[in-house]
Amino acid sequence: TAKFTSALDIPVEFVEKNVKLRGKLHRITEKGLEVEHIPISIPFITSIQRKWQSKGLLLVRLAGVELAPSGMAWLQRELKPKQMMWFQLLGREDMALECLVLVNKGRFLSVCLNEEILRQGLGRTARIEGLHHDSRLYWKLHKRLLRAELKALKKNKGIWKEESFSERIGDRISNNKFVQRLKQFVSWLRSSR
């Protein structure tokens, strides 16, 4: 029932047990998602606790994901301010939390943002900070993230998109030294008239 306003407020046991917390999105920054923790509410106790709760936002990072610039833009388009989300604690590094982030899409469907970004080709799989790399959970999550990345790679999505044959030929022709010299010569001729 306690409201966490800083990553250091969260008990170590919560991080070790990979507890899921609920929160409300405030901002998306280069460092991660700024989320207001929404504690479990018990009618009478919650109304009393609100008077003494301090204000503050938790910095939540997408564990195991290295975002591409297009990934940041996608997050800003897809996520709305004040949107509710669940974040599963995997680790804590300084003032940031490494988490799996779940967002509701419809009544009974939720999407893991970590996987969705990789599935769209908007980032790369990275080491999951905070989890011991020899643990079963680490490898289970890492395998899920790699599968999502592989789907984007197979479908040529996002950062994995390959240029078409005509685009590659056009680039090679325009980058050819002879063609560049020819362009310089033509522009010199035009300017000398």
Would you kindly state where each structural domain of the chain is located, as residue ranges? 7-162, 166-192
Residue range 128-134: mean pLDDT, rounded = 84
Residue range 105-128: mean pLDDT, rounded = 90
Q: Which amino acid is at 35?
A: V
pLDDT in tens, 95-108: 899 999 999 887 78
Q: How far apart are CA 71 and CA 73, in angstroms?
A: 5
Cβ neighbours around 7 below 10 Å, total: 19
Which bin fits 100, alpha (ψ -120 to 50), beta or left (φ > 0)?
A: beta
Burial of 143 (0-12, 13-18, 19+ CB in 10 A): exposed
pLDDT of residue 151: 94
pLDDT of residue 2: 80
The pTM for the full model equals: 0.74
- Alpha carbon distances (Å) from 174 to 163, 166, 168, 169, 181: 15, 12, 10, 9, 11
What band does 52 get if pLDDT is binned at 50, 70 and 90?
low
Fold that domain 7-162 belongs to in CATH: OB fold (Dihydrolipoamide Acetyltransferase, E2P) (2.40.50)
Averaged pLDDT of the chain: 86
What band does 75 get if pLDDT is binned at 50, 70 and 90?
very high
The better pLDDT of the pair 48, 117 is held by 117
Q: Which amino acid is at 4?
A: F
pLDDT of residue 173: 78
First to last CA, the chain: 81
| Statement: residue 57 has pLDDT above 80 | yes
Residue range 141-149: mean pLDDT, rounded = 94
